[in-house]
Structure 1
Amino acid sequence: MLNPLTILLVTVLSGAMAMAVLGSLWRAAIPGVGYWIAANALGIVALLAFALQGHASRWLSFVAANALLALALLLVLEGCLRFLGRRERPWVAYAGLVAVLLGVCYWTFVKPDFNARVTLVSAYHAILYAALAVLVWRGRPSHRPAYNYYFLATAAALLCVGHSSRGIMYGFGRLMQTSLLQVSPSNIAFLALGILAPPLLAIGVVMLAHDRLAERFERLANVDDLTGAVSRRAFLERGGVLLNASLRSGLPVAIAIVDIDSFKSVNDTYGHAAGDQVLAHFAAFVARELRAGDVFGRLGGEEFGVLCPVTTAADAVMLLERLRGGLTASTPVELPRGLRYTFSVGVDQWRRGESLEQLMARADRALYAAKAAGRDRVVAA
């Protein structure tokens, strides 16, 4: 039969490996990772303190060990709160930790009762695991793959069931023992279940952290950092999707190629920093004014594109004229004093059987016609 001490030491090793993996993510500054690393460190110390039962004081091997292990799980919960962007602290859980500490002290020194200690600690852990499962399940973002969140929520739910069963068995006296390291089938079974907790939680939080890294990389690839508009590559991808949808539905799709007028003179007169401000201001203005479903992207330099699903060329001209008039009437306080700018637009509508590149080429020719006609205007191909 396995020795409980061996199980504790194996759990310590798994916690150390989890710390190493999480430590590799420290520099990525992902919210919650610091809490998860601290949780694994406290868990290791707690397990080592448990292993010293019979060789160290009960303050260390009973009271401190239980308190640190409970605090470790609480830090996992805190880390998930930060990861999901929530700032509140689980003060009720901290109050529960104090109650657990007092109960462990009472049933260790005042009225020694191993079963009562196990019941109390198991109930607290079960509640924290339940809270973790609900938090992760409800907090999963709709725009990200759900598998990572489901994995951690399911693992927390299973551990909640395990701790609940342990608490019930010991609480109703179905199992009787006097020491955590006592060799018995039931004790070995519950400790073996406990050995799964650190790696399951570590795998779950590492999956969340790596998904956050993947989200950052996707944003770098798909979103222009200066303007917040989608990148040229993402714009072309979404354009292909819209044309395929239009081919199936028969509904129109229009495109507008937009260019800020005399942008070089802005850079020459006010400096490149002011030019960046103009690009950011223009992108923010357009993004506020576009309709839901329209796709706004930066094609390069001061040139942008707008994809308008379920929109004819005439409707797109009206939309862009409204934007042009709105910019002319506004006073961009974010820009250097005296800096005003306009933009020109070429518009066209997709024709069945042509590629997105062909559509963009015709809209681009319309844009050049707008420039040639004096700028600050919208021209349909």
Structure 2
Amino acid sequence: MDIKTLVLALALGNLSLCAALFFFEYERKKSFAMSTWALAKQCQAIAWCLLYLRGVVPDFLSILLGNSLLFAGMALDAGALWQAAGKSGWRRRLLPALGVALALFALCYLFEVAPLLRSAGGSLIVAGFFLSGVAALSLQWREASMLRRFLAVAMGVLSLLIAARGVLAAFVPEFDAERMQLAGFGALYLMMLTNAFGYLLLSREKLGGELARLEVVDPATGVPNRRGFYQALAPWMALARRPGLPTALVVLNLDDFKRVNDSYGHPVGDAVLKSVVDVCRQQLRDSDLMGRLGGAEFAIQLPRTSLADALMVAERIRAAVAALPVKTEKAVLSLTASMGVTTIRAEDSTVALFKRADEALQAAKEAGRNRVMAAPESAALDL
């Protein structure tokens, strides 16, 4: 395969990718990262088309404009990876770097710098932008998925090959310049494939992770939902069979919460629940876990906490909720909470544990609400 064919393959590959991206998530608004990446591919597609037409169109279009669009596409490509990594400040760094790169290349073209030197500079610019994308992929390396690690390594190696090709072709005469150029374009072709499939797979991986998170997290409050809380509770149920400090469970219900939804609407109700969760968390340790069971009912897991200590924590939470003024557009609301407290026993199942905590909660409501009640410590106390 000669260089002209590789350039054509790069042009057609990016054009087909642009067409696919046009219909990707067509019914929904694309994320800013995906839109940036789509724009990057459009710039690269036009650039490779112009470079392929070198000799047919004027040089200032095929060389100057073509390479300028190519650099812009590479910079936006890296920017999309930084945006996907949650670093929205990439424009403050990459766009000035792109401006410098364009100015330097334009000066080299206008002053008719030797083609090999100009090509070496272009290779270093392209490799530099690709390495910026590699840096984005390498963030939080220990927590990164195997896919992200592979893409970082593969793109890093290909970037170094692209840079080495330009430098060796320009400054080492004994190297065959044509073969080095062919190797460089081959690396660019592999980079296009790796980047295209990699970015789409990363987007799919991120979406899958978000869907998995939503299965165990309550979207309104940000705490685990019933399923997520039960999953987190399971290991502590097993540990209850071993000697040591018990794990306590608090079931919390907001008193008369239905009137908030009925009077002010569900958006206000969700805001109130979020405020209550925030104030409860302020009374908890990092090791404690709060989850939403449904409606206005929550559960709090207190590892290595006796019943007496759990009652103290629950009382602090009750007082904090009662003292919390929740501001809405229409009024300032005051809420109270009733709580049932128990500890996990060796013979407990999840059903038995929550049944006992719910019975304590009902006792608190029947006693007048806005109070904390404990379940009996053991069955022997009921005899």
Q: TM-score, normalised by structure 1?
A: 0.87
| Match among 365, 373, 378 for residue 367 of structure 2 | 373
C-alpha offsets along residues 199-247 of structure 1, whole Å, 9 cap, x if unaligned?
1112222233223322332333222222333211111111113323555
- Is the counterpart of residue 74 in structure 1 residue 68 in structure 2? no
- Is the counterpart of residue 88 in structure 1 residue 82 in structure 2? no
My pick for the range that moved more, 198-207 or 265-274, is: 265-274
Give 1:17 shift.
4.0
Check the 8 A contact 1:133/1:157 in 2, yes or no.
Answer: yes
Aligned residue number for residue 181 of structure 1: none
| Match among 320, 344, 348 for residue 326 of structure 1 | 320
Check the 8 A contact 1:257/1:364 in 2, yes or no.
Answer: yes
Give 1:152 shift.
2.9
Check the 8 A contact 1:107/1:114 in 2, yes or no.
Answer: no
Give 1:259 shift.
1.2
Aligned residue number for residue 135 of structure 1: 136
My pick for the range that moved more, 100-109 or 149-158, is: 100-109
SS of the residue aligned with 2:139? helix
Aligned residue number for residue 158 of structure 2: 159
AA partner of residue 4 (structure 2): L
Aligned residue number for residue 306 of structure 1: 300
Q: What is the correspondence of 1:1-381 to structure 2 with a 5 Å cutoff?
A: 2-23=1-22, 24-25=24-25, 27=28, 29-90=30-91, 93-108=94-109, 110-138=111-139, 142=143, 145-174=144-173, 175=175, 184-247=178-241, 250-267=244-261, 275-334=269-328, 337=331, 339-381=333-375
AA partner of residue 168 (structure 2): M
Check the 8 A contact 2:260/2:269 in 1, yes or no.
Answer: yes
Give 1:140 shift.
5.9
AA partner of residue 130 (structure 1): L
Distance 1:48 1:129 in 2: 20
Give 1:18 shift.
3.4
Check the 8 A contact 2:169/2:180 in 1, yes or no.
Answer: no
The percentage of aligned residue pairs carrying the same residue is 29
AA partner of residue 67 (structure 1): S
Give 1:103 shift.
4.4
Give 1:157 shift.
0.9
SS of the residue aligned with 2:249? strand
Distance 2:262 2:179 in 1: 81
Distance 1:217 1:64 in 2: 42
Give 1:119 shift.
0.9
AA partner of residue 168 (structure 1): V
Distance 2:266 2:221 in 1: 15
Check the 8 A contact 2:165/2:183 in 1, yes or no.
Answer: no
Distance 1:273 1:102 in 2: 52
Aligned residue number for residue 380 of structure 2: none
My pick for the range that moved more, 147-156 or 259-268, is: 259-268
Shift in alpha-carbon separation, 1:301–1:77, aligned structure 2, 3 A: same
C-alpha offsets along residues 289-317 of structure 1, whole Å, 9 cap, x if unaligned?
32212221111222111111121222111
Alignment RMSD, CA only? 2.7
Check the 8 A contact 2:83/2:90 in 1, yes or no.
Answer: no
Distance 1:325 1:18 in 2: 59
Check the 8 A contact 2:321/2:337 in 1, yes or no.
Answer: no
Check the 8 A contact 1:18/1:40 in 2, yes or no.
Answer: yes
C-alpha offsets along residues 127-179 of structure 1, whole Å, 9 cap, x if unaligned?
2222222232125694xx522331332233112211221122123133465xx
AA partner of residue 136 (structure 1): L
SS of the residue aligned with 1:262? coil
Check the 8 A contact 1:277/1:335 in 2, yes or no.
Answer: no
Distance 2:179 2:237 in 1: 65
My pick for the range that moved more, 204-213 or 14-23, is: 14-23
Distance 2:350 2:37 in 1: 47
Distance 2:357 2:183 in 1: 70
My pick for the range that moved more, 59-68 or 327-336, is: 327-336
